Structure 1
Amino acid sequence: MSHDGHASAFGGRQEPRTAAEQLARTVARLRTELDDQQRTIPGRDAVERARGVLMGRLGMTPREAREELQARAGSAGRTLVEEAWALLAAHSPARSAAGTPLPGARQNAGGDTADEFAQRLEEQLADSAGIDALLVYVRSPGGGLDLVAHAGVDTAIASAWGHLPPIRDLAPFEAVNLRRPVWMSDLHKGTAGRPLVGDCPETWPSRAWVPMHRGEDVVGVVGFLRRRPDAFDAADRALVQAAARVCTACAEPASAPEGAADRSPALQVVFDCLREAVVLLVPVRGRGGEVTDFRIEAAAPASVDAAGRTGRELVGLRVLECDPAVAGTPLWDGCLHTLTTGEPFESDASDDPGIACGGPDPSVRHAVRAVRLGDALVVSWPPQAAAGQEGERLRRLQYLGNLGWADWDLATDALQWSPQVYAIFDRDPALGPMPMDELARQLFPEDLPAAGAAAQALLASGQPVDVPFRIRTVHGTRHLRFVAEAVIGAEGRPVAVHGFYQDLTAQRNEQIALDEARRAFGARQRGPSAEQALARRLQDALLPLPDRSFDLPGLNCDVSYLPAGASIQIGGDWFSAVALPDGSTLLGVGDVAGHGIEAVATMAALRHGAEAMALGGTPPRRVLERLNHALMSRGTATATMLLAEYRPGTGILTWARAGHLPILHLRDGHAVFLTQPDGRILGASHESAYGQATAELRAGDRLFLFTDGLVGRRGQDLDAGLERLSRAAEAVAGSYGDDTATVALRVTEALVPADPGDDSCLLCVRVTA
């Protein structure tokens, strides 16, 4: 991916001389990009789904599945998209045999099935227009096309192409979308990579696809296939268009179950409020009543299929269109059993949940539950941590947050502490929890009245408490916080207390450093050297810089930070690189507007707030939303920020930004800027919304997260600064290989002058797994 806003600068092309020329070129480029996207996105969707089939059926890795698909396409002489759809069709359940109406087909006035009607029509057109085969499709609720009648093709062809997903390049969809016939001839001479419906072009080298109209609507399309290669002349075209109008009477769109139209909108509103992955499935039945597929009638936002479609995007699609590999699995059989008997189905936790489950986190396993609701199924995928994983996550969370839980049974006076509480109190676990009278003796005398009042309120009336206090340990004074609530018994009195202790010493030391800085600035009595020393102390307290590169899950990182050259203009630039409890890594950079103590205080609040929310499992874009509301409530500052979460198990980077500059991605010596999601600066508006983007990384890739002091120069174009960074990253990374610390230092030296006018922060990351 690239940073579109800087394409001309990176490509070295001559800029337009006038605003009119620039506007004309921009419009032309956007039109070209839109056409390219419309041509390639459906193909990519098919290829990704075909890779999913290979991974599920053959147990392949994503790379092995991609190579296998390419090899099959080469052997068969097909394009990659054609091979993908051939594979998907081969793994779809067989459609009804010839002579049996498929879902949506109806009998004509003479009692014939739709296939029988199509057979008679094909026989009439064989002599008059040379028609050898006939395919009648109607539009499906998911935007595809369903085969409802056919003649002149064998059962295998009808089965393989019984449902056509919406691919723009297929001639049937071209006819439907353009609302006019598509005439094709001499296909045996080559199709220029265009995918075709049915057999290879040598069988039917001449074809016509004619839309079926009902009033102003296009309800389907009829394919007329000929074995001779010549084009349709005027007489032939008139005949097949008349035949298409006749076919409209024998093909009706698949009808929804009774009551579905009334319940779908209301149900989807309910499903929009669900947090887990949940879908409502309506069975699609054949003529004999057998279930051939399920249609997704409602879906919760956490539901996602193999192509990445989520929530409302799934509504109207069929299950086997979303996940062809699920047919014949225990999950499929369990759903059929529940639909038939009404007995709920529940699978064991699995790494491969199938159909439409919640997020792509490989550390989360899913149990699948299905219950019958009238003529439909409600299927849910509640996430379940692997055995022992939940306890390990809790341990890591307590360690990273420097907090631990404590329970007190008031009836037996029994105390229980988690291991982290012993570390907070510097107490040997062999001694057991500290009795309350001993704990009272550890408190500072001046803290006893507030702590005693809180204990009285908790134990006498069951009021929740949140009280700070200090204790003396062998390592000095510690600032602690106790948060607790009482369990009320049958008689209305507390019978137990549940709470946690948190060590706030580090935050308190930061506050002390800020207070010292405020006093120093207010007095203005110190010389430049003393001011620089104070700035260094404040910097070390709020934003400690590593003295060497450091490792995080799947990453090797280093930081280069340069303050502004002017005296003690302490700024609000910051970075974050933290390992999260679920095995992923949080990366971030930010820049608070202005300099001085207020900027530093805001910087500290944003940095610690972002890390705290990420440790609790909040995704990047939600973190930005909450920080924006916090700044708006204060109304005194604005800031830019970029937050990213990297999961080494999948190689997926997920990021969001609030008005910040893009991430620079370096792979195989070539640097590009990742396309940015939407996101306004923090503190600008209560209505700000933040998008989210993803990218797949691999070992050896590099990422550069930076603030504007690295690339911005007064009186210079920001695009020129980004171009300098891109070129410097390519040159330096090519010279120093895996030495992350040297790469970060040399890139900064190449861009930042000796006496910078603004702070600059560069977080340099190398992917190791």
Structure 2
Amino acid sequence: MPSHLSEDRPAARPPGPGPVDTLLTRARRLKGDVDAARRGAPADGTDPEDRWQRALYDLTLHQLDDVGRYLAQLRDGPPGAGGPAPAGSSPSARTSLLSRVGSAEWNLLTDEATWSEELFRILGRDPGTAPLTLDELPSLVHEEDRPTLTGMVTDCLIDARPIDGEFRVVRPDGAVRTVHMMGEPVLGADGGTASMWAVLRDVSELRRCRRAVSESRASLRTARPAADPAGDRLATELRDAVRPVWRGSLRLPPAGPGALEVAALSLPASAAPGSGGDWYDAQHLPDGTVQLAVGDLTGQGIGVPSALAMLLGAVRALGTAGTAPGPLMACLNRLVDAAVHPVLGSALCLRYRPGSRSLVWAQAGHPAPLLFRDGTGRILDTPDGVLLGAAADPRFGEATTTLEAGDLLLLPTGGLLPGPSAAAGAHRLLALAPHLTRTTTAQDCVRAVAHELGEERREDDGCLLAARVTA
């Protein structure tokens, strides 16, 4: 998403039809390839692995279908502008698509709110009624998700941070829908926030598909111990052998100002603990910098620890060779893409220079680091990146920030935090900021997180790497 807007600088115009047509063609071809692969998959429903594969195919097709429709809408212009209906889609399909996407703007100076008709439909409200103000909006949100919405809006209005997260809304008829919200602040002439705009999308069907994937994966895990207990046991032993283990906190570099004190936490899945693909690593490099990395590989069985060993070896070797985080991610993506056992994975790599306390990092579809300072926490701005193995030659950007003595970094994997979305999980950790910033060591911080989350039920293994900047 671009940087925040100002009132006298309109948003950039969408790209011309040429690039959009090219993207649309690629999306349609990819959808056809996935559909062909799905038709070739077993469909009797008796094998847990077959059910898991078909659920993943269905999820992928659903998302590609939306991508194609959005690109067609972008090519043909706003509805009502006189353009033709998207090629290959019926009027009812376009209406269905638009009914899932609405927009809103809240003027902070006049306390006025403007909603599109589609947003009224998404939230189940009568278009003849007044749109809700920002103070009234949480009344529609599921009680468990209100802190998530409040945190996103506060970050947007106070820190001018873009909004990108999900929450559940309860419609007047009692139906619960999942909404994905993206927005930005609009700055006035004095540099203050004058209003906030947002695009809200009903992603309930997408989440239903993801739940089907998760449930089929859970049944696959349940079925496998009886089918191959020795193989799962071997996979677990291999994973534990390649993942670093240290007791207490680790200081990197061992001496000198500005060093990082590092500690790690690993929490197993509730239903079938064992051979998950979550990993972490901390390394003091020859040039005096410190490299931190975490990630997660999908799948089960012997192929996961095999890929994990390959990735960890590559991370350490490339770091020792001085490869920057962005190019390092690109190298990992090529390794995963060419692996014998196909996997997908997320990863996060940070390079820290103790002398200047500067931090450079890159990510591949992974939750962003959380930075805690002076009793508060925030999510670091995320550079470009996609899941490892999801594309042949993607671009991995880099982000930089400067740390201070006493700062605390948390690097969680996706399986650590149960919740409706990664954003909701991150805000749960951010809510611990007053307590975490009072801890004196990285190990104390890890214990605090384990105390808060250790008893919760989770579908996947989870890891956390904590790093505190010493004086």
Which whole-Å deviations, capped at 9, do the CAs of 1:70-93 have from their partners, x for residues lacking one? xxxxxxxxxxxxxxxxxxxxxxxx
* Residue in 1 that maps onto 2:426: 722
Whether the aligned pair in 1 keeps the contact of 2:293 and 2:347 (CA below 8 Å) is: yes
Give the structure 2 partner of residue 641 of structure 1: 347
1:608 maps to what in 2? 313
**Cα 1:599/1:18, change in 2 over 3 Å:** same
Question: Structure 1 residues 679 and 525 mapped into 2: Cα distance closer, same or farther (>3 Å)?
Answer: closer
**CA distance change for structure 1 residues 754 and 11 in 2, over 3 Å: closer, same or farther?**
closer
Match of 1:632 among 330, 334, 337: 337
Q: How is 1:337-376 mapped onto 2 (pairs within 5 angstroms)?
A: none
Over aligned residue pairs, what C-alpha RMSD do you find?
3.7
Report the Cα distance in structure 2 between the residues aligned to 1:35 and 1:620, rounded to whole angstroms.
37
Q: Which one-letter code corresponds to 2:452 in the other structure?
A: A
Residue 586 (structure 1) aligned to one of 284, 288, 291: 291
Distance in 1 between the 2:338 and 2:357 partners? 37
Q: Give, in angstroms, the shift of residue 566 of structure 1.
A: 3.5
Task: Report deviation, 1:565.
Answer: 3.1
2:359 equivalent in structure 1 = 653
Structure 2 residue 462 is the aligned partner of structure 1 residue 760: yes
Q: Give how far 1:640 is off.
A: 0.5
Normalising by structure 2, report the TM-score.
0.52
Which residue of 2 is the match for residue 410 of structure 1? none
Establish whether residue 741 from structure 1 lines up as the match of residue 447 from structure 2. no
Match of 1:183 in 2: none
SS of aligned partner of 1:626: helix
Q: Is the 8 A contact 1:710 1:748 kept in 2?
A: no
Deviation at residue 522 of structure 1 after TM alignment: 11
**Shift in Å at residue 729 of structure 1?**
4.1
For residue 400 of structure 2, give the secondary structure of its aligned residue in structure 1: strand
Residue number in structure 1 paired with 2:270: 565
Q: How does 1:106-121 map to 2 (within 5 A)?
A: none
SS of 2:355's equivalent in the other structure is coil
Task: Give the 3-state SS of the residue equivalent to 2:360 in structure 1.
Answer: strand
Deviates more, 1:695-704 or 1:629-638: 629-638
1:270-669 equivalences in 2 (<5 Å)? 524=228, 537-553=237-253, 554-567=259-272, 569-634=274-339, 636-669=342-375
- What secondary structure does 1:749 align onto? helix
How far off is 1:562 after superposition?
1.5
Aligned equivalents of 1:750, 1:661: Cα separation in 2: 19
Query: What code does the residue aligned with 1:743 have?
Result: C
The structure number with the bigger radius of gyration is 1
- Taking a change above 3 Å as real, the CA distance of residues 709 and 523 of structure 1, as seen in their structure-2 partners, is closer
Mapping for residues 113-192 of structure 1, pairs under 5 Å: none
Quote the residue 2:186 is aligned against: 31
The reply to whether residue 686 of structure 1 matches residue 386 of structure 2 is no
Size of the alignment, in residue pairs? 273
SS for the counterpart of 1:753 is: coil
Instruction: Find the residue that maps to 1:31 and give its secondary structure.
Output: strand
Residues in 2 aligned to 1:614 and 1:652: alpha-carbon distance in whole angstroms: 16
Q: Is the 8 A contact 1:569 1:596 kept in 2?
A: no
Does structure 2 conserve the Cα–Cα contact (< 8 Å) formed by 1:621 and 1:656? yes
User: Is 1:10 matched up with 2:165?
Assistant: no
User: 1:604: how far off?
Assistant: 1.4
For residue 609 of structure 1, report the CA deviation from its aligned partner: 0.3
Cα pair 2:416 2:458 within 8 Å, conserved: no
Contact map agreement 1:559 1:744 (CA 8 A) in 2: yes
Inter-partner Cα distance in structure 1 for 2:398 and 2:292: 14
* Separation in structure 1 between the aligned mates of residue 356 and residue 437 of structure 2, nearest angstrom: 25
Task: Give the direction of change, closer, same or farther, for the CA distance of 1:749–1:572 in structure 2 (3 Å limit).
Answer: same
Matches within 5 A, 1:92-111: none
> Contact 2:239–2:305 at 8 Å: present in 1 too?
no
SS at match of 2:286: coil
String of CA shifts for 1:104-146, please: whole Å, max 9, x gaps: xxxxxxxxxxxxxxxxxxxxxxxxxxxxxxxxxxxxxxxxxxx
For the Cα contact (< 8 Å) 2:441–2:468, is it kept in 1? Answer: no
Structure 1 contact 569–595 (Cα < 8 Å) conserved: no
Local SS of the residue matching 2:187: helix
CA distance in 2, matches of 1:632, 1:35: 49
The residue aligned with 2:417 is 711
Q: Distance in 2 between matches of 1:628 and 1:703?
A: 25
> Given residue 747 of structure 1, which amino acid in structure 2 is its aligned partner?
V
- Between 1 and 2, higher relative CO (CA 8 Å, sep ≥ 6) is seen in 2
Shift of 1:690: 0.4
CA gap of 1:35–1:617, structure 2 versus 1, over 3 A, is farther
Q: TM-score, structure 1 length as denominator?
A: 0.32
Q: Which residue of 2 aligns with 1:750?
A: 452
Equivalent position amino acid for 1:594 in 2: G
List per-residue Cα deviations over 1:557-600 (Å, max 9, x = no partner). 10001222334540110001000001000001000012222111
1:732 to partner: Cα distance: 3.5
Letter in 2 for 1:584: T
Secondary structure at 1:665's aligned position in 2?
Answer: strand
Partner SS for 2:392: coil
TM-aligned CA deviation for residue 18 of structure 1: 11
Deviation at 1:644, TM superposition (A): 0.3
Unaligned runs of 5+ in 1: 39-519
Whether the 8 Å contact between 1:729 and 1:747 is mirrored in structure 2 is no
Residue type of the alignment partner of 2:268 = P
Conserved in 2, the CA contact under 8 Å of 1:563 and 1:570?
no
Structure 1 position 672, deviation (Å): 0.5
Pair 1:597–1:36, CA change in 2 (3 A): farther
CA offset digits 1:503-548 (Å, max 9, x no partner): xxxxxxxxxxxxxxxxx9898466xxx976x566434311132121
Q: Aligned partners of 1:566, 1:673: CA distance in 2, in Å?
A: 30
1:609-651 C-alpha deviation (Å, 9 max, x unpaired): 0110010011010011111112222371111000000001111
Deviation at 1:673, TM superposition (A): 0.6
Residue 61 of structure 2 is matched in structure 1 by: none
1:657–1:668 CA distance, 2 compared to 1 (3 A): same
> Deviations along 1:324-360, whole A, 9 cap, x unmatched?
xxxxxxxxxxxxxxxxxxxxxxxxxxxxxxxxxxxxx
